């Protein structure tokens, strides 16, 4: 009986210690969640406007070529048909303990990736470690060097390499795979084509009577603004991915705390019953001993 009491008491102490850790991690994740949510909300409007301008330039270039009957649309609007496969930029986390955040993303990504043709460029240690261990994935680690950093110079340098590789016809398409933040409890694995540009033009009423005036040709402007667009898109994706990661980790730690409370209640009841049983047994033994001596 005494052995069971000691064992239960140790389990209670162990769970309380673990709960302190998970509670601290939940608080840290909550703080980071707020920070990344603010960063995401501050940057999303800029990205949307930039995407619309890029979409307008693509549309204007096609219209200009259709009217003149000369030239070809920019190669940034066309797949590289002679290329072997696509480049997949997969954004995962650097750390674990974030529930199904990475595993859901892995399953979604593997449904689309062709091991014989495509190339993987992982961002985040979890993705790099996971697929390096698999051994049959063609990996280009140039993006993994920056991790989840959103420093402008780091991201711009990688965007320039993506642009040059696509220019050389190395890949048919460049595709982003990341986790879209829907709300604090819903995160959706998402895939978007980064290159060639495939942005739907939003129908804005003012364009009917006040279309944009372009000082240079749409083709030149596309080439000029593409690095800024790639930077804004990848940076926004990194921020949104980290937002989803922190939300997922906070939920995981919250669930861990709830489970710890439930288990503590169960063990406390079990401990109290065992302790009461031990006390009752001792009283019975004392009474029995006293009665036999009389």
Predicted TM-score of the model (pTM):
0.85
- Report yes or no on 209 lying in a domain: no
- Per-residue pLDDT tens digits for 27-38: 999 999 999 999
Q: Is pLDDT of 210 > 90?
A: no
Do residue 127 and residue 159 come from a single domain? yes
Q: Is pLDDT of 104 > 90?
A: yes
Do residue 101 and residue 246 come from a single domain? yes
Do residue 195 and residue 263 come from a single domain? no
CATH code (residue 281): 1.10.287
- Report yes or no on 42 lying in a domain: yes
Do residue 153 and residue 62 come from a single domain? yes
Share of the chain above pLDDT 90, in %: 41
- Report yes or no on 53 lying in a domain: yes
Range of the domain at 259: 2-19+254-287
Do residue 9 and residue 68 come from a single domain? no
- Report yes or no on 84 lying in a domain: yes
- Label residue 53 by pLDDT band (50, 70, 90): confident
- Per-residue pLDDT tens digits for 214-273: 778 888 888 888 988 999 999 999 999 999 999 999 999 999 999 999 999 998 888 888
Closest listed residue to residue 240, CA positions, set 31, 33, 26: 33
Cβ-contact 178, 91 below 8 angstroms = yes
Do residue 79 and residue 31 come from a single domain? yes
Do residue 177 and residue 258 come from a single domain? no
Do residue 189 and residue 79 come from a single domain? yes
- Report yes or no on 282 lying in a domain: yes
Closest listed residue to residue 263, CA positions, set 24, 14, 21: 14
Do residue 54 and residue 163 come from a single domain? yes
Do residue 266 and residue 180 come from a single domain? no
Query: If phi over 0 gives left and psi between -120 and 50 gives alpha, with beta otherwise, what is residue 169?
Result: left
- Per-residue pLDDT tens digits for 188-199: 999 999 999 988
Do residue 188 and residue 43 come from a single domain? yes
- Report yes or no on 210 lying in a domain: no
pLDDT for position 208 = 63
Rounded to the nearest integer, the mean pLDDT of the chain is 86
- Label residue 2 by pLDDT band (50, 70, 90): low
Q: How many domains does the chain have?
A: 2
Degrees (nearest 5) of the Cα angle 144, 149, 155?
A: 75
Task: Find where tokens 């290159």 sit.
Answer: 195
- Report yes or no on 293 lying in a domain: no
- Per-residue pLDDT tens digits for 122-174: 998 999 999 988 878 999 888 877 777 777 777 888 888 898 899 899 999 99
CATH code (residue 156): 3.40.1380.10
Q: Is pLDDT of 287 > 90?
A: no
Do residue 97 and residue 15 come from a single domain? no
Long-range interactions of 213-220: CB distance < 8 A, separation 24+: 214/57, 214/60, 217/61, 217/64, 218/57, 218/58, 218/60, 218/61, 218/64, 219/61, 219/71, 219/74
């Amino acid at each position: 009986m005494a052995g069971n009491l000691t064992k239960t008491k140790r389990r209670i102490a162990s769970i309380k210690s673990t709960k302190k850790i998970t509670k601290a991690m939940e608080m840290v994740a909550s703080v980071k969640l707020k920070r990344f949510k603010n960063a995401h909300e501050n940057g999303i409007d800029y990205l949307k406007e930039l995407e619309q301008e890029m979409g307008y330039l693509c549309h204007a270039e096609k219209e200009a070529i259709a009217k003149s009957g000369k030239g070809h649309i920019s190669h940034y609007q066309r797949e590289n048909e002679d290329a072997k496969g696509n480049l997949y930029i997969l954004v995962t986390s650097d750390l674990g303990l974030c529930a199904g955040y990475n595993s859901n993303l892995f399953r979604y990504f593997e449904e689309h990736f062709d091991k014989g043709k495509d190339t993987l460029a992982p961002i985040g240690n979890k993705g790099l470690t996971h697929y390096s261990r698999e051994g049959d994935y063609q990996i280009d680690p140039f993006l993994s060097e920056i991790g989840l950093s959103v420093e402008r110079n780091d991201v711009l340098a990688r965007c320039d390499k993506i642009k040059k590789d696509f220019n050389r016809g190395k890949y048919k398409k460049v595709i982003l795979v990341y986790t879209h933040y829907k709300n604090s409890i819903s995160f959706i694995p998402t895939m978007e084509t980064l290159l060639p540009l495939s942005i739907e033009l939003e129908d804005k009423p003012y364009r009917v009577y006040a279309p944009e005036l372009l000082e240079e040709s749409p083709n030149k402007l596309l080439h000029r603004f593409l690095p800024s667009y790639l930077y804004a898109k990848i940076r926004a994706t990194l921020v949104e991915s980290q937002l989803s990661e922190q939300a997922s980790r906070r939920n995981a730690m919250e669930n861990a705390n709830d489970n710890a409370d439930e288990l503590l209640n169960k063990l406390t009841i079990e401990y109290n019953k065992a302790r009461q049983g031990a006390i009752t047994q001792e009283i019975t033994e004392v009474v029995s001993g006293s009665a036999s001596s009389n």
